[in-house]
């Protein structure tokens, strides 16, 4: 089950990123976090940018409404998404 925090303005979710994958995809859920496989390498913020862009497209929100609030330099991140509810995130991620 996904660990998600909804404050009425948006949600915060935990994400575990696997960079340099063969394709961008949701790889399931691990300890309350969404596991993402991303093609971008973990250099110069490329994987962070890819993470935000992939989640924005997947959830149907603008790219500027998705930001990494914790974990910019690690694989475990907390991502803030504005303008969406926890129910909508759960439905779109299929958890």
pLDDT at 57 over 90: yes
CA distances in angstroms from 24 to 6, 27, 28, 39, 74, listed in the order given: 26, 9, 13, 6, 18
The whole-chain average pLDDT of the chain stands at 95
User: Residue 95 has what pLDDT?
Assistant: 64
Q: How crowded is the C-beta side of 1, counted as CA atoms within 13 Å?
A: 5
Domain count along the chain: 1
pLDDT at 2 over 90: no
SS3 27: strand
Residue 28 belongs to domain spanning: 4-93
The domain that contains 47 carries what CATH number?
3.30.1200.10
pLDDT at 1 over 80: no
User: Residue 61 has what pLDDT?
Assistant: 97
Band of residue 94 on the pLDDT scale cut at 50, 70, 90: confident
């Amino acid at each position: 089950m996904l660990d998600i925090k909804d404050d009425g303005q948006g949600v915060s979710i935990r994400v575990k990123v696997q960079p340099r994958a063969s394709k961008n995809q949701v790889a399931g859920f691990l300890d309350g976090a969404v596991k993402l496989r991303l093609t971008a390498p973990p250099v110069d913020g490329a994987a962070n940018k890819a993470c935000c862009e992939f989640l924005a497209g997947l959830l149907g929100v603008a790219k500027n409404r998705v930001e990494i609030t914790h974990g910019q330099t690690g694989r475990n991140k907390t991502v803030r998404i504005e303008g969406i509810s926890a129910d909508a995130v759960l439905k779109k991620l299929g958890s």
